[in-house]
Amino acid sequence: MLGRAGISFRKIFNYFIVLLYCLYIFDIYNLYTMGKTKKLIELDDKTIAILEDQAKMNKRSLKNFIEWSLEETALRLAEPSEEYKAMIDVLKKRDAEGKLKWYSSEEIKKNYGR
């Protein structure tokens, strides 16, 4: 049976199935390769203005600058810096050697009046 434009229902149905399959594959591709999640955030106008200025200075769009800034911050928060790790190692060594003196909160309050 032909439709108005001379295309059969079967052909339209096949195109529709191919389109759905492509959308499905694209969605799976995004799910496994891009690994991104969309979130709606609300920022005040002053914050947006500051971020827009920073984005222009970095030759980025506002959206790209916000995404980049958050990703950089998340990476810094994900693992302590090498300096922090070195400081903790020194403190652990001093504690193991008995050279580290610990004070209780009561002692600190007594000495400093808080």
For the stretch 95-105, pLDDT in tens is: 889 888 888 88
pLDDT at 1: 47
pLDDT in tens, 40-79: 888 899 999 999 999 999 999 999 999 889 888 888 788 7
Question: SS3 for the chain, per residue?
Answer: CECCCCCEHHHHHHHHHHHHHHHHHHHHHHHHHHCCCCCCCCCCHHHHHHHHHHHHHCCCCHHHHHHHHHHHHHHHHHCCCHHHHHHHHHHHHHHHCCCCCCCCHHHHHHHHCC
More confident residue, 21 or 63: 63
Among the listed residues 74, 72, 48, the one whose alpha carbon sits nearest the alpha carbon of residue 62: 48
pTM (two decimals): 0.45
For residue 55, the model assigns a pLDDT of 93
